[in-house]
Amino acid sequence: MATLGIPANTIAVLQKYNFNFQKKFGQNFLIDTHVLDKIIASAEVGKDDCVLEIGPGIGTMTQYLAENAREVVAVEIDKALIPILEDTLSEYDNVTVINEDILKVDINKIVEEKNNGQPIKVVANLPYYITTPIIMGLFESHVPLKSITIMVQKEVADRMQVGPGTKDYGALSLAVQYYAKPEIVANVPPNCFMPRPNVGSAVIRLTRYEKPPVEVEDEKYMFSIIRASFNQRRKTLINGLLNAGNLGITKEDILEVLEEMGLSATVRGEALTLEQFADLSNKLNQKKK
């Protein structure tokens, strides 16, 4: 099978199977071999690796992964793509295609079966409509991971990297930076895809920390606090936390903790660093009823 990264070969496969793009599944297939090479190199995929690919499409990147990795598991929601993948991946015996929604698959079970529970790498050109739930799901369900190398919307890649004081800073930035070191490895223009998306894209590599950079007594509680703080942007942190209604703390508790931390009673959530959210959540956790 000829490489699908070349537009003419992708078009030939699409025509052979009379494939119709499904907008609702965020289908923008890669048609640029340089970008594919860059993704594989940034993910440092080698013969020891078991790789999970989310949304293989017609198998363009899957072929590259199969060439370079020991084992590849590709999860694709669109059943119309399954016979195409059987065809384009027929030369490889180290690829398993699963026809499922990635948000419903038990990834921990896949890691257990395919890699003896040892950390895997995730490599994907993600469907943009569910970027955040996919990333949060991978981190929060504690899937054993070495790294996640993904194509996302440029704006979302930026959001993962920034700190307080920027408009893009939010719950996603904090979650990513708690679990991993983010690094944008390539900017990718719309003409590298078929059909072309309306937005610019970027490849970002998230390298999982063995130990998070801050100490947190109760991770779930910290993320409830972070979500509550960003639910109401441009409002004070106190209002955000009180309006959440499920944190088990009073206004007096919060005021006391803010004072202890040397923060003003009118501080906003978007001004706090990850270290400060960790400190805040550890202190509030002590007062929780």
Q: Which residues bind ligand SAM (CB under 6 A)?
A: 25-30, 54-57, 60-61, 75-78, 81, 101-103, 125, 127, 130
**Cα–Cα distance list, 170 to 65, 92, 161, 280 (Å):** 32, 41, 10, 16
DSSP assignment of 86-129 equals: HHHTTT-SSEEEEES-TTTS-HHHHHHHHHTT--EEEEEE--GG
27, 57 contact by CB (below 8 A): yes
Least distance in angstroms from the C-beta of 279 to ligand SAM: 36
In the three-class reduction of DSSP (H, G, I as helix; E, B as strand; rest coil), residue 254 is classed as helix
Quick one: 55 or 269, whose CB is closer to ligand SAM? 55
Quick one: 7 or 248, whose CB is closer to ligand SAM? 7
Quick one: 86 or 101, whose CB is closer to ligand SAM? 101
Count CA atoms closer than 13 A to 190's CA, side-chain side.
Answer: 6
33, 56 contact by CB (below 8 A): no
Q: What is the rounded distance in angstroms from the CA atom of residue 114 to the CA atom of residue 112?
A: 6
Quick one: 46 or 195, whose CB is closer to ligand SAM? 195
161, 207 contact by CB (below 8 A): no
Least distance in angstroms from the C-beta of 211 to ligand SAM: 31
Least distance in angstroms from the C-beta of 14 to ligand SAM: 11
Asked if residue 190 has a cis previous peptide bond (ω within 30° of 0), the answer is no
Amino acid at 25: F
Least distance in angstroms from the C-beta of 168 to ligand SAM: 22
With CB atoms as reference, the residue minimizing the distance to ligand SAM is: 55
Q: What is the rounded distance in angstroms from the CA atom of residue 94 to the CA atom of residue 194?
A: 27
Quick one: 118 or 187, whose CB is closer to ligand SAM? 187
Least distance in angstroms from the C-beta of 44 to ligand SAM: 19
Least distance in angstroms from the C-beta of 214 to ligand SAM: 31
Quick one: 104 or 234, whose CB is closer to ligand SAM? 104
Quick one: 164 or 197, whose CB is closer to ligand SAM? 197
Least distance in angstroms from the C-beta of 226 to ligand SAM: 25
75, 102 contact by CB (below 8 A): yes
